[in-house]
């Protein structure tokens, strides 16, 4: 499941998650992983409010001023923080 950053329909998100949970339960799965981009603050807030928790996270890093980055995809260029 992927959400557009401007997407904020709570009922539709709840319906998608409920359907995903039902599929996982019917397949006897113990956990459901919901990847959520932290830039989609609304979706992350909804998931936390509904009882989901952060179990793992990843940070994508790029070397600034190279052909590998920075990209136009709004990822953070950590070279700015290195001083």
Position 37 pLDDT exceeds 50 = yes
pLDDT digits (tens, 9 = 90+) for 46-73: 998 999 988 877 776 666 666 555 555 5
Q: What is the pTM of this model?
A: 0.64
Task: Decide which of 60 and 43 is more confident.
Answer: 43
Measured CA to CA, the distance from residue 70 to residue 68 in angstroms comes to 7
Query: 7 to each of 23, 37, 42, how far by Cα in Å?
Result: 23, 13, 8
Instruction: Return the structure tokens found at 38.
Output: 């932290």
Q: Whole-angstrom Cα distance, residue 41 to residue 59? A: 16
């Amino acid at each position: 499941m992927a959400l557009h950053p401007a997407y904020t329909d709570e009922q539709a998100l709840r319906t998608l998650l409920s359907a995903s949970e039902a599929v996982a339960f019917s397949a006897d799965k113990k956990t459901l992983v919901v990847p959520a981009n932290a830039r989609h603050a609304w979706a992350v807030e909804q998931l936390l409010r509904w009882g989901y928790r952060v179990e793992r996270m990843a940070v994508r890093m790029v070397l600034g001023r190279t052909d590998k980055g920075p990209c136009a995809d709004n990822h953070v260029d950590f070279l700015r923080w290195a001083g």
